[in-house]
Each structure stands twice: as structure tokens, then as C-alpha cells.
């Protein structure tokens, strides 16, 4: 296929024509007592250092944020995961036994990588240096308690009294509160939930967060409590503790694999940021997978909805641009971003139109001018902070006609007719009260064997995704422990391989939980694989207590698509973005006279708008009615319309 790049190959620095008065120092801080009044911005170490970053490297990056990005609102610098893991032979993302913990089973920074933490100082010195640079300091933390602390059976600190936690005349320990059957799905060896029904479980969580506040932490990214690892109890408890601290700390949840609207609505008032997807890396598929989910959350009014002591923001994840490492690597940055320049602009444009937090992920010591100009583009940053009515705009046309080989066909779980080729099926977890979770039917196949299937559609007999229902087989003494707990629960076996069971947790941080091989894993005794079939046609997972639903999605991410987003600016301007998800240049068009159909209270007359395109910095003057643009492969166009 011949690919033509019609939109700008040469990136021109474009300075916005609007006078932007941005008081950065106040921007994403607490404004008028409100937390996260605007979507937070900053830098996070994960995309460039994985878990291996040192104090020196971290402070060097913070220095660049302060010198080059702070004036654009980038303010939070966040150490991502495993800052407490010793970087020695045998240690990696899911190793066990290499962590530095204190006498109360709490994580402390690895003194080799974080020398200023020696002598029990934790992150105090680092936070102080970060604050002196005019920045805010953040850390990543895992769910609950570490397996290492549970194995060591450390006592729990009573954070009020500063001594061991006693209740009912005894000291409580890590093994009393750790729930081994609720291990973090993507870091099975590392961390598990704590039982928040126990006073000792709640005291442990409080002892962690009070320490973070003492260190001077301003932002906590809590991992493995959301999405398919949903732990509403921990989120609720942590949120409560944060409210009671003297220090304002932003609360962020990650990752967001398999997130549903119900799940987000259950947490948004408790937090300030929550991820909508699994980890975003520098592949086109990852960028493209954010269009549907950000549309759904925008249309549900979740952008800037109420949050912990302020607002909350659906988070599309870091911007993996510039100088990077690889997912879960043991190495620091060693390669360049693999997204094309057009793809990078598409990412920045969608993130801005969806008002996502903007957290840069590349190693800033190698920040080049091109990347810097993408992430500091004044118009994009203006949209990200101050635009309103942000939504997907569907009244667009394109010259792209579908070709057979553009289509993604899901044949594996049923006969798919040619007419249905544009659908693919995605398994989601949702609240069991959600009516869309009712669609599972049970049928007897043989005397001993039941099969559970997702109904194709109401009133038809067709079945989609059938699985055999089987009582989980017990294989060892240890598993006997769970026998009572999972009475009446089933394994759901893949029909083509009885070794594999439907699993609600991805083993890695996948972008979306699609109905494909990755939803099945080798059958084992794991709450994620235990399902309960209810007579009302719902199928409940024992781990998350959420129900499975199957949604047919039109089109396929990354193919046959063009998208558009619209928003309005502070001074009445209209922002219109075109996105080309095709692997060929596509002409996308929209009519000015259609825009006011979605913008409340606006009446736009033909010929009344002047138009500029942001990325090419071109002024098109007055437009008659139709805006039409040849958009490059995976590229975008962003128009600013000033209408009389």
C-alpha cells in the first residue's frame, strides 16, 4: 500500500493566538480548598526507568521538569513502582524477598538506590529537594501488604499510639490481615489485599499513609486496586485516611484494565485520578484503544466529576514519548519512542480533548525540541485545562470505504455472518445489578455436564461464547482451605481446551480485557477463576464480586475508523479534532452547520467561522460550510474555530 503523509511532516512550532494567562503555580494545586481543580500534569519514572530509577536520576529529571516544563503546568514528579526493591541479581518485577521493609512491615526506599533515605528518613530528603524546585512529589504504592511482610509476620503499628497494635488482648500481625487468596493479579508474588474489616487491617493502611504524609508526599498512585483488581474496601479506607491527614495528597488509581462506568462511579468521589485502561505504551494499538473508552466516560459526564476533596479525572495514562525503556524491564532508558510523529500528535490531541491528566513518561535528560514542543503546545494545554463540552463528535464523513482485509473477525466463539463482520466481542466486568450483565444461559449438555453461554441477542436461540461449567477440582491440602469459601462456585472451561478456565484477571496489564485467549488461563484454584451462575442470568466472579457481560463493539480498534472530538473554549471558540485511525491517508470532513447540533445554546451560520489548524499552524480564514482535511495515517487535525 502506498502511504502518503499529507499533513505536516515538518513540525512547526505553533504559538497559539490566544493570550493565555496561566498562573502555573496555582494551576493543579488545591484551589480554594479544592483538590485537583484541573487535570494534574507532571512526570512519572515508569516509562523510562521501569522500577530501576535511582535518587540521582530522579532528581535530574525533576530538575528538567522545574526548568523546562513547570511553566507549562507540569508540576508533579512521581517515582513509580518498587522503589523499595533492592536492585540485585534475581530481583525483578514479580520476585519475592528482595524488598526493604521496616519492623512494621512497611516499605522503605532501597538505601542503595535512594541514599538519602538512610537512617529511617524515607523520602523526606527527596521530597524536600523536589519542593525546593517548586514541584510536588509523588510515589507509587501497591495494594495492601507485601508477601514479604506476611511471610515475616511483622507486627502491625498502631499509628495513633506509636506501638504495636493490640486488640482483644493480643498483638496483631501481618498474617492476621493479609489475604493470600487476594494477591495482586499482575504481581502475584509481591502484594495482597488486607482485610479492612479488621481493626488491624485498617490500622496497617493508616500506618502507611501517615508515613507518606510525614515524608512530604503530595501524590499517591495506588496500584492493583482498580479495574480487574478492584478492591473497593482498600480504596474507601485509603480515601478516608487521606481526608483525615493534614497534608493534601492527590489520590490516583492504576491501572484500569477492564474498567466499567459502574466501577468508576463507585470510586470517583473517593479519588482524584483513575485510569481507564491497562498500561499505555508506544504502540499504535495502545493509542487507538483509548478512543472508545474516553468517549464513553466523556459522554457519561465523568470528566472533572466530583472527587476526593475536589474533582476527579479519567486518566488515559502517561505519554510514552522520547527516551524510554520497556514494560516491566530491569533496565533503564535505552531506546526511542516507536510512535510516528503523527501518532504522537494524535495521542497528545486525544489526551487534551479528553482532559486527561498529562504525565510525561520519557527520560527528560534527553528531552528533544520536537517532543518538548508537542507536550507544551499552548493550544493543546489550553484545551486540556479549560475547555468544556468535551465529547466525541459523530457527524463526520470520510472517503474511506471498508475493505475486506480491514476487518477484524471474531470467529472463534461462534459463526459470524458476513453482515456482522464489523462487530467484535469484548468481555467486561460490571456491577451484578447492571441489567446488561443478564445474558448468560445455562444448558444441560450431558447428564453431568452443564454449559453456560452468552445469549447472542434477546429472543434468539443463538449462543456465543459457550463454556463448560465444572466444580473446581481440589488437588492439595492447602486448597482445602478454600473449599467452604467457594461452595457452589464453578470453573468455566474453554471448549477447545479443558485445561483453560475463564479468568477475570489478566496476568499482565493488558489494555482491554477482550474475549480472546487472554481471558482464559490454566485452570487453578484462584478466586479470579471462580464463577457463580445466578438464575437471573448473571455470572459473578468471586474475586471482584462483579458480573461478566459481553458487549458487541462496532468496528475494530485501529481499523476502518475515523473519529472526531469537539469542545468549546473559554472565549467561545470551538475546538474540532479529526483523527484518522486508518493505515491510509483519509479525507475527513464535517459541516459547520452540524456543530451546533451538539453544542448547547450555539447557532452557527454558514460562513460565520474562521478556522486555523493547530499542528500545521495554518490559517484557513473564513470557511463556507464544510471543513475537509486529508489526515495522515494515524494522524490528526485540530481546528480552532472562531465564529461570529
Ligand X SMILES: *[C@@H]1O[C@H](CO)[C@@H](O)[C@H](O)[C@H]1NC(C)=O
**By C-beta, is 48 or 430 nearer to ligand X?**
430
Could you tell me which stretch among 245-253, 433-441, 461-469, 473-481 binds ligand X (CB under 6 A)? Answer: 433-441
C-alpha distance from residue 62 to each of 24, 128, 135, 213, 330 (Å): 16, 12, 8, 20, 22
- Of 259, 279, 315, the closest CA to residue 544 belongs to 259
- What gap in Å lies between CA 179 and CA 181, rounded to an integer? 5
Could you tell me which stretch among 180-188, 366-374, 429-437, 592-600 binds ligand X (CB under 6 A)? Answer: 429-437
438 binds ligand X (CB under 6 A): yes
549 binds ligand X (CB under 6 A): no
Please give the torsion angle defined by the CA atoms of residues 476, 480, 483 and 486, in that order, rounded to the nearest 10 degrees.
-60
Question: At which residue does the C-alpha cell 466472579 appear?
Answer: 541
Out of 170, 435, 522, 554, the only residue in the binding site for ligand X (CB under 6 A) is: 435
Q: Shortest approach of ligand X to residue 549 CB, angstroms?
A: 10
Q: Shortest approach of ligand X to residue 266 CB, angstroms?
A: 15
545 binds ligand X (CB under 6 A): no
Binding track, positions 478-517, relative to ligand X; x by CB under 6 A: ----------------------------------------
433 binds ligand X (CB under 6 A): yes
Torsion sign across C-alpha atoms 457, 459, 465, 470: positive
177 close to 184: Cβ distance less than 8 angstroms: no
Q: Shortest approach of ligand X to residue 272 CB, angstroms?
A: 30
- Of 263, 252, 195, the closest CA to residue 228 belongs to 263
Q: Shortest approach of ligand X to residue 539 CB, angstroms?
A: 10
How many residues of this chain bind ligand X (CB under 6 A)? 8
Angle between helices 378-386 and 341-353 (to 10 degrees): 30
Out of 329, 534, 587, 608, the only residue in the binding site for ligand X (CB under 6 A) is: 534
In the complex, residue closest to ligand X by CB: 536
- What gap in Å lies between CA 392 and CA 54, rounded to an integer? 41
- What gap in Å lies between CA 424 and CA 552, rounded to an integer? 6
544 binds ligand X (CB under 6 A): no
Q: State CA 430 to chain mean position distance.
A: 17
Q: Shortest approach of ligand X to residue 488 CB, angstroms?
A: 12
Binding track, positions 376-415, relative to ligand X; x by CB under 6 A: ----------------------------------------
**By C-beta, is 185 or 432 nearer to ligand X?**
432
**By C-beta, is 107 or 432 nearer to ligand X?**
432
Site for ligand X in 84-123 (CB under 6 A): none
Site for ligand X in 150-209 (CB under 6 A): none
**By C-beta, is 102 or 532 nearer to ligand X?**
532
Q: Shortest approach of ligand X to residue 433 CB, angstroms?
A: 4
- What gap in Å lies between CA 121 and CA 278, rounded to an integer? 33
Could you tell me which stretch among 137-145, 301-309, 430-438, 596-604 binds ligand X (CB under 6 A)? Answer: 430-438
**By C-beta, is 108 or 452 nearer to ligand X?**
452
Question: At which residue does the C-alpha cell 508533579 appear?
Answer: 76
Please state the length of the chain: 644
| Burial group, residue 377, by CB count within 10 angstroms (0-12, 13-18, 19+) | buried
**By C-beta, is 433 or 446 nearer to ligand X?**
433
Query: How many other CB atoms are there within 10 angstroms of residue 591's CB atom?
Result: 18
Could you tell me which stretch among 61-69, 154-162, 432-440, 466-474 binds ligand X (CB under 6 A)? Answer: 432-440
**By C-beta, is 433 or 477 nearer to ligand X?**
433
**By C-beta, is 262 or 282 nearer to ligand X?**
262
**By C-beta, is 538 or 612 nearer to ligand X?**
538
- Of 175, 170, 233, 164, the closest CA to residue 203 belongs to 164
- Which letter does DSSP use for residue 479 in this model? H
Could you tell me which stretch among 205-213, 250-258, 530-538, 552-560 binds ligand X (CB under 6 A)? Answer: 530-538
Out of 379, 538, 542, 612, the only residue in the binding site for ligand X (CB under 6 A) is: 538
- Of 417, 440, 409, the closest CA to residue 537 belongs to 440
Backbone angles phi, psi at 391, to 5 degrees: -165, 165
Out of 443, 485, 497, 536, the only residue in the binding site for ligand X (CB under 6 A) is: 536
Query: How many other CB atoms are there within 10 angstroms of residue 168's CB atom?
Result: 6
- What gap in Å lies between CA 209 and CA 215, rounded to an integer? 10
Question: Helix or strand or coil: residue 111?
Answer: coil
**By C-beta, is 547 or 590 nearer to ligand X?**
547
Q: Shortest approach of ligand X to residue 523 CB, angstroms?
A: 24
**By C-beta, is 218 or 262 nearer to ligand X?**
262
378 close to 16: Cβ distance less than 8 angstroms: yes
Question: Helix or strand or coil: residue 574?
Answer: strand
Query: How many other CB atoms are there within 10 angstroms of residue 193's CB atom?
Result: 23
Residues that bind ligand X (CB under 6 A): 432-433, 435, 437-438, 534, 536, 538
Amino acid at each position: 500500500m502506498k502511504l502518503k503523509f499529507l499533513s505536516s511532516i515538518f513540525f512547526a512550532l505553533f504559538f497559539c493566538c490566544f493570550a493565555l494567562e496561566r498562573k502555573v503555580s496555582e494551576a493543579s494545586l488545591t484551589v480554594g480548598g479544592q483538590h485537583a481543580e484541573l487535570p494534574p500534569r507532571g512526570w512519572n519514572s515508569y516509562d523510562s526507568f521501569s522500577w530501576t530509577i535511582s535518587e540521582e536520576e530522579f532528581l535530574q529529571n525533576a530538575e528538567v521538569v522545574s526548568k523546562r516544563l513547570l511553566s507549562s503546568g507540569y508540576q508533579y514528579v512521581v517515582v513509580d513502582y518498587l522503589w523499595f526493591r533492592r536492585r540485585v541479581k534475581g530481583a525483578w518485577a514479580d520476585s519475592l524477598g528482595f524488598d526493604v521493609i521496616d519492623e512494621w512491615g512497611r516499605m522503605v526506599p532501597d538505601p542503595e538506590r535512594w541514599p538519602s533515605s538512610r537512617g529511617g528518613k524515607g523520602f523526606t530528603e527527596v521530597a524536600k529537594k523536589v519542593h525546593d524546585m517548586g514541584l510536588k512529589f509523588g510515589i507509587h504504592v501497591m495494594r495492601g501488604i507485601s508477601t514479604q511482610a506476611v511471610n515475616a509476620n511483622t507486627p502491625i503499628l498502631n499509628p495513633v499510639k506509636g506501638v504495636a497494635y493490640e486488640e482483644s488482648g493480643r498483638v496483631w500481625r501481618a498474617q492476621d490481615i493479609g489475604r493470600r487468596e487476594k494477591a495482586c493479579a499482575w504481581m502475584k508474588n509481591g502484594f495482597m489485599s488486607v482485610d479492612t474489616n479488621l481493626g488491624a487491617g485498617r490500622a496497617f493502611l493508616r500506618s502507611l499513609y501517615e508515613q507518606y504524609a510525614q515524608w512530604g508526599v503530595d501524590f499517591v498512585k495506588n496500584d492493583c486496586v482498580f479495574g480487574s483488581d478492584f478492591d473497593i474496601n482498600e480504596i474507601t479506607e485509603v480515601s478516608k485516611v487521606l481526608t483525615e491527614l493534614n497534608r493534601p495528597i492527590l489520590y490516583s488509581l492504576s491501572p484500569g484494565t477492564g474498567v466499567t462506568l459502574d466501577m468508576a462511579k463507585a470510586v470517583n468521589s473517593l479519588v482524584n485520578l483513575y485510569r481507564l485502561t491497562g498500561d499505555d505504551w508506544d504502540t499504535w494499538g495502545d493509542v487507538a484503544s483509548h478512543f472508545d473508552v474516553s468517549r464513553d466516560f466523556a459522554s457519561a459526564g465523568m470528566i472533572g466529576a466530583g472527587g476526593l476533596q475536589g474533582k476527579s479525572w479519567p486518566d488515559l495514562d502517561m505519554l510514552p514519548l522520547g527516551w524510554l525503556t520497556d514494560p516491566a524491564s530491569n533496565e533503564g532508558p535505552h531506546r526511542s519512542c516507536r510512535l510516528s510523529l503523527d501518532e504522537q500528535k494524535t495521542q497528545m490531541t486525544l489526551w487534551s480533548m479528553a482532559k486527561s491528566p498529562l504525565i510525561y513518561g520519557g527520560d527528560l535528560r534527553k528531552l528533544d525540541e520536537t517532543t518538548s514542543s508537542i507536550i507544551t503546545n499552548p493550544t493543546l494545554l489550553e484545551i486540556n485545562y479549560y475547555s468544556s463540552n468535551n465529547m466525541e463528535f459523530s457527524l463526520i464523513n470520510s472517503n474511506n470505504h471498508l475493505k475486506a482485509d480491514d476487518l477484524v473477525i471474531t470467529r472463534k466463539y461462534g459463526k459470524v455472518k458476513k453482515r456482522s463482520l464489523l462487530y467484535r466481542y469484548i468481555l467486561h466486568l460490571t456491577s451484578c445489578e447492571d441489567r446488561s450483565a443478564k445474558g448468560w444461559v445455562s444448558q444441560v449438555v450431558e447428564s453431568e455436564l452443564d454449559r453456560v453461554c452468552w445469549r447472542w441477542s434477546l429472543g434468539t436461540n443463538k449462543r456465543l461464547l459457550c463454556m463448560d461449567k465444572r466444580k473446581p477440582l481440589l488437588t492439595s491440602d492447602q486448597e482445602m482451605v478454600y473449599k467452604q469459601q467457594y461452595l457452589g462456585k464453578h470453573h468455566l472451561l474453554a471448549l477447545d481446551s479443558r485445561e483453560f478456565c475463564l479468568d477475570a484477571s489478566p496476568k499482565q496489564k493488558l489494555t482491554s480485557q477482550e474475549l480472546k485467549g487472554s481471558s482464559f488461563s490454566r485452570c487453578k484454584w484462584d478466586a479470579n477463576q471462580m464463577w457463580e451462575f445466578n438464575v437471573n442470568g448473571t455470572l459473578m466472579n468471586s474475586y471482584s464480586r462483579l458480573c461478566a457481560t459481553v458487549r458487541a463493539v462496532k468496528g475494530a480498534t485501529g481499523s476502518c475508523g475515523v473519529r472526531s472530538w469537539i469542545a468549546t473554549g473559554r472565549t467561545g471558540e470551538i475546538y474540532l479534532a479529526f483523527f484518522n485511525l486508518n493505515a491510509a491517508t483519509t479525507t475527513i470532513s464535517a459541516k459547520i452547520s452540524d456543530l451546533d447540533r451538539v453544542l448547547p445554546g450555539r447557532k452557527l451560520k454558514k460562513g460565520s467561522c474562521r478556522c486555523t489548524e493547530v499542528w500545521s499552524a495554518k490559517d484557513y480564514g473564513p470557511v463556507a460550510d464544510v471543513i475537509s482535511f486529508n489526515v495522515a495515517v494515524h494522524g490528526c487535525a485540530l481546528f480552532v474555530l472562531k465564529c461570529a
